[in-house]
Structure 1
Amino acid sequence: MSELSVQIVNRVKHARIVADAGRVHAPQVTAELGGDLDGLEGFEGSQLTTMAKAGVKLLMNVTELMEQLDLRYANESAQDSAARVKRDQYVAEGRAAIMAGRDHTRAVLGEEALTKYGIPSTTPEQANELLAVLNNIVHRLDEYPANEPGRFGAVFDSAKMREEFVAVHDNLAGALDALGTETRETEQVMLERDAVVARWERIYRGVAGQLSSLFIMAGRADLADRVRPTTRRAVGLDEPQVPVEPDTPDMPDTPAQPAADDVVVEPSEA
């Protein structure tokens, strides 16, 4: 099961703290402030409560969308990883086929036949290069069909060799296509998620800042600090812990030492 990233989890936590304060405490605060502001410059005080509620609703809507997209991204990333594992598996099979084909061709037909059938002396490691070599070998086997006996009953059968190379070629080609699709889908979801995260940060700062200001106006500094949109909260980080000074044991009283100016120097005897 895919999990939300740590920073998204923290953003959700901070959004819920703001939403809880907005739902529990803001109605009373906005009602009181609405009475003070009502009629000033034509302002309708009753709209203050509605505005605060609407801001909280918007914040939680965007928060939910952010959660969904982050889960989608986690799922796509998992599928992308699985596709890479499959790609690597078929790369290993393709390399093994080339090495086995090289040894068999050299043993039956001789060293010069390797060039004829496009079998390289060094086995490629990169998937795309390996696929190109496999494709070339298949074409060469089509171009130069042969069924030649060798020593100790070994036979170079181009048709059978072609069948094996086609299989590993098609497996690798399919794995690369699947990986390409998964990579594009993962990148697309990541772009969508990042866009929503950027929007969330703007809305979070605005809504939390609005509530914090309202709480300050109402004399509730405690609530204002609780929802204040710090930079760390906006980017999904926890607030740093304030170190607690350890209790120091009472030290026993020690006699006061005279200051340097208080030291009396006895005159020396002549």
Structure 2
Amino acid sequence: MTEATRPVRIGLQLQPQHADYAAIRRTASEAEELGADIVFNWDHFYPLSGEPEGKHFECWTMLGAWAESTSRVEIGALVTCNSYRNPDLLADMARTVDHISGGRLILGIGAGWFEKDYVEYGYDFGTAGSRIADLGEALPRIENRLAKLNPAPTRKIPVLIGGGGEKKTLRLVAKHADIWHGFGDVEVASRKLKILDQHCADVGRDPAEIERSVGVQGDPAESGPKLLDLGITTFTVGVGGPDYDLSQLRKWIAWRDAQNG
């Protein structure tokens, strides 16, 4: 695997939990001012850590608000749960946020996993296999609807697929994604990317077309160069409420600037 040739990008996953919306909005703007390339939220209905019934806000209405309250950063969900919305509707929502934002939306999507969301909101949880199969059926519908909408999206909306399932999810990445997002250490990422490259070969796609992205924590000087050597160029720091400490984000932005010159 060759060293990355794309510029390094830094994202913030601004987790919409345990905070008032004013703090979330302020943090999204601060991340933009600091120089973040992307600000993500996530698509859940309840907090994933801390008080299980704590404060929480919905994903896509928030993205519409961010499209107006920011001006430079790309925005998106890390990641949208495919199970919660009809795929054609999701495509239309994405196209609309794309226009509101002036072409800054990344359409992040995954198969879904947080059972409490499903049970509390009345969605069929199914199995991991059925949820991935549903995602596989949804992606072509999203692509087809985006091609039909009037007005069309302002650009080819980048599709980010999150997940590391080696047989099914990474094959969907090879077929449909512009960006792959995963989690794990350098060893895990190396394995996943080799498997992704093989899936790309199997479906006749150049793996260099797919931007590689991971969630990170800790000192960028320790893990950053090793991940970069794998061809990973987008690094996303997660931060939760209520206080949204952006000290880690500052470190990764400084490291990015050193890499990009």
Larger proportion of helix: 1
Q: Same fold (TM over 0.5)?
A: no
Question: Which bin holds the TM-score, normalised by the shorter protein?
Answer: under 0.3
TM-score (norm 1): 0.18
Larger proportion of strand: 2
